[in-house]
Amino acid sequence: MKWLQAIKDYKHYLLIERGLSRNSIDNYSYDIKKLINYLEDNTISVSPLEIDNEVIKQFIYTISKTINPRSQSRIISGLRNFFDYLIFEDYRKDNPLDLIESPKIGRKLPDTLSVSDIDHLISQIDLSYQYNSINLGERNRAIIETLYSCGLRVSELIELKISDLFFDEGFIKVTGKGNKQRFVPIGSSTEKYILIWKSIRSHINVHPDSKDILFLNYKGKKLTRAMIFTIIKKLVEKSGINKTVSPHTFRHSFATHLLENGADLRAIQMMLGHESITTTEVYMHVDRSHLSEVLNKFHPRK
């Protein structure tokens, strides 16, 4: 079918020309699959190459019953990009989402942990925990320390390589979205915990595909995103902290604590790898009391 080839070409375009990660491509593909499933479930005999605005509106109305506005907005954005591609490649002449508005979702403030929360979480790690004679407790401490002290995305953490560590210069090289690389400062304490893990890692029979990967499972293979989530979930349960905590929570906390301690937004943007400063501005939810302190300290006419 022609539309199947169009979808295949689109995925190739996202990978080669846009340089997106496999995870991002899977998300775009999920949006298209959801639309195709809707057409099949409702016996609508039209291909994505011929779909019109009315069918799109009915599709969005249907999914709005089961998913939140934020997810709706993401699907609409993904499909709009797909149809823009189809126009560019002459698969069709118009975009059926041109007149579709995304739902109003507002700006969601990220959850954060306090410094004491993070200290408490790390203190709950069982540093003697071993599996198959491999000390995974030390690995887990190095993971949490790196997530927080460097503000990494979970995908960046699991892809972090030994060759990306430039401890003499005080930086690590991080490969972010779209394979864009940045250098992020790393503190001496985090370096110490990574070096402890590296000494343990040297005794693992590493899988050939993971020779340069820093954080491994007991089989010597790269950790999955799901495994990082599991490590954190168990740690939060053990600590008794009554907050929703994910790997991204440490990234949010990293940025918030930097801002609260006087770092400028542009520096935080560079360390987080945000393309736009407006993305970083979500961290401006610091307490008004802190903002008052900044004014009193730095304004010449306070």
Q: Which of 50-59, 91-100, 138-147 has the highest mean pLDDT?
A: 138-147
Is the separation of the CB atoms in 69 and 81 below 8 Å?
no
Q: Where do the domains of the chain lie, and which CATH numbers do they carry?
A: 2-88 (1.10.150), 115-295 (1.10.443.10)
By DSSP bridging, strand 165-166 and strand 171-175 are: antiparallel
Sign of CA dihedral 60, 64, 66, 69: positive
**Residue 221 pLDDT > 60:** yes
With CA atoms as reference, report the closest residue to 94 among 74, 77, 80: 80
With CA atoms as reference, report the closest residue to 255 among 236, 241, 274: 274
With CA atoms as reference, report the closest residue to 108 among 138, 68, 143, 78: 68
pLDDT in the model for residue 136: 96
- Total count of residues recorded for the chain: 302
For 36, phi then psi, to 5°, come to -65, -40
pLDDT in the model for residue 283: 65
Q: Which of 240-249, 255-264, 284-293 has the highest mean pLDDT?
A: 240-249
Residue 249 is inside which H or E element, if any?
helix 247-260
pLDDT in the model for residue 294: 58
- Which are the catalytic amino acids? 153, 177, 248, 251, 274, 283
**DSSP line for 174-220:** EE-GGG-EEEEE--HHHHHHHHHHHHHHTTS---GGGTTBSSB-TTS
For 128, phi then psi, to 5°, come to -95, 0
* The pair of three-digit structure tokens given for residue 32, joined into one six-digit string: 């298209």
**Residue 182 pLDDT > 60:** yes
What DSSP designation does 244 have?
-
Residue bearing the bigger pLDDT, 181 or 277: 181
* The pair of three-digit structure tokens given for residue 232, joined into one six-digit string: 């954190």
Query: Distance of CA 14 to CAs 23, 81, 178, Å?
Result: 11, 10, 10
Instruction: Determine whether 246 is exposed, middle or buried from the number of CB atoms within 10 Å of its CB (0-12, 13-18, 19+).
Output: middle
Instruction: Report the SS3 class of residue 222.
Output: strand
* The pair of three-digit structure tokens given for residue 144, joined into one six-digit string: 């949490």
Q: Helices in the chain by DSSP H: which ranges?
A: 2-16, 22-41, 53-63, 69-88, 115-123, 136-150, 154-158, 188-201, 225-239, 247-260, 265-272, 277-280, 288-298
pLDDT in the model for residue 287: 44
User: What band does 223 get if pLDDT is binned at 50, 70 and 90?
Assistant: very high
Q: Which of 5-19, 117-131, 132-146, 288-302 has the lowest mean pLDDT?
A: 288-302
**Residue 285 pLDDT > 60:** no
Q: pLDDT over 90 for what percent of the chain?
A: 48
